[in-house]
Every structure is written in C-alpha cells, then in structure tokens.
Amino acid sequence: MIIYLAELSHTGKGRSPNVVPLAAGFLAAYAKSIFPDIAITIYRDPDKLLKDVKTKKPDLVGFSMYAWSERLCLFSAKRIKEISRDIITVAGGASIDDIDEELLSFLHINPQIDVACPNEGEMSFAALLEHILAYKGLKPGLKIDGCARLAKDGTLLRGYYRRPILSELPSPYLSGWMDEFLADKYMPVIQSMRGCPYRCSFCVSGNSQWSHLFDFDLERVFC
C-alpha cells in the first residue's frame, strides 16, 4: 500500500509555513509501527506531491489541513481526483470540525475528499488503513473508528473516536521522519503536550474535547 501524507506549505515567495510537517510525521510514525509493509512519503511541497501522484499513483493521499493551507489542500485534492478517481483522499487537521453538521457540510461541499478525520488523527488513521487493507478499499455502509464519510444516501457515516495514548506514539524525530525536512532547513517544532485549559471561542482548541492537558514523557521530549 502506497500512502502520501501532505502537510502543505505555500511556495510563492519563500515557504510558508517553513516548519517541519510534525502532524504528518506523527501519523506516519504510528501507522508504520502497526503496518510495517506500507510505504509512506511525506510532502510539504504541493508541486512535488502532484508530480509524484502522476508518476507513481498512491492508494491514499492524506492532508493535514489548517486555516493557512485549507484552500491549497482542497485544490490539490481536486487535482488528484482528476488524475485518478481511485485514489482515496483523506482530510484531517485543525480545519476539520468535530460537529456532525459541520462534517456533513464539509463533505458535501468538497466531494474531492472521501474521508474526514476530526481531532487527533493517529488512531483514526490507523483504523482507516486497517479498513482499507481488509476490504481492498472503502466498503460502503461500514463505520470506521474516528472517521467520517458520506453514506450512499448522503447522510453522515461516522465512527467512534478513540484518543491516542501519547506514550504509545513513536517520535517522528527519533524514528527519522523529520530528517529530510531538517536537512532542507525547515524549522523544528517540539510538542511537549496536547490540549489546552482555556476555552477561547476563536480557537480550534477552545472546546471540551481539548480542555485537558496530556503530556508526552519529558525524557523523550529532551532526546
């Protein structure tokens, strides 16, 4: 199984954001630890992503979407579907809402996205890969843990979300997933915890799902 994970930067005047694709790194590190035979490539450059999709078609392309990259990701997903309708497209990240009505609206407005994964993505992405490997694709009518997609009648088909245990997530740095980006002078980002105790209405973390702090082992952080 060939997987491309895209945490895209704009590449007009310089690169923005010019930091390592940490979210994609966590997804890759965890997925590879469970499914060692899959092949994963991480992308920051949208042009390189589309070029590689044309030359070596993946089974799945996953996007980590944020406010600054949402339109770029959706444009890239549309181009990918034009290259091959068989490629499964997945959207996660801060731009994917946890509310059912918003998920339903997002999937209807953006038919170039097959699956949306709200909240932390490691467990959901692994469940999605397990489903695809078992059924040789997306089987209609079945819920997938942590994932949302459209049923045949246009309603929302959403599975139960499981929060990852941080101590079970391999480090994207220690497992080598960030090496090529650090060598290409992308700035490192260190995540010592997840969650936020505040409820700011303008922030994606300002809800009950993120109201508790979950910390990584400090010894690993300092490595």
- Domain range list for the chain: 2-158, 192-223
Q: Tell me the pLDDT tens digit for each residue of 160-169.
A: 999 898 889 9
Closest CA to 52 of 1, 113, 86, 4: 4
Give the whole-angstrom CA distance, residue 23 versus residue 167.
16
Q: Phi, psi (5° rounding) for residue 172?
A: -60, -25
pLDDT category of residue 195 using cuts at 50, 70 and 90 = confident
- With 90 as the cut, is the pLDDT of residue 135 above it? yes
| pLDDT of res. 201 | 79
| DSSP letters for 194-214 | E--S---TTSTT-SGGG-S-E
pLDDT category of residue 109 using cuts at 50, 70 and 90 = very high
Give the whole-angstrom CA distance, residue 124 versus residue 15.
29
| pLDDT of res. 212 | 76
Q: Tell me the pLDDT tens digit for each residue of 51-65.
A: 999 999 999 999 999
- With 80 as the cut, is the pLDDT of residue 190 above it? yes
Average pLDDT across the chain, whole number: 93
**Cβ atoms of residues 131 and 88 within 8 Å:** no
Block residue for tokens 């070029």: 51
Q: Phi, psi (5° rounding) for residue 116?
A: -115, 140
Give the whole-angstrom CA distance, residue 63 versus residue 114.
11
Architecture of domain 2-158: 3-Layer(aba) Sandwich (3.40)
| pLDDT of res. 165 | 86
Q: Tell me the pLDDT tens digit for each residue of 196-212.
A: 888 887 777 767 777 77
| pLDDT of res. 57 | 97
**Cβ atoms of residues 96 and 1 within 8 Å:** no
| pLDDT of res. 200 | 84
| pLDDT of res. 219 | 82
Give the whole-angstrom CA distance, residue 80 versus residue 159.
26
What are 107's strand-pairing partners? Answer: none
Kindly report the length of the chain.
223
Peptide bond into 111 cis (omega under 30): no
Closest CA to 80 of 110, 103, 57: 57
| pLDDT of res. 31 | 97
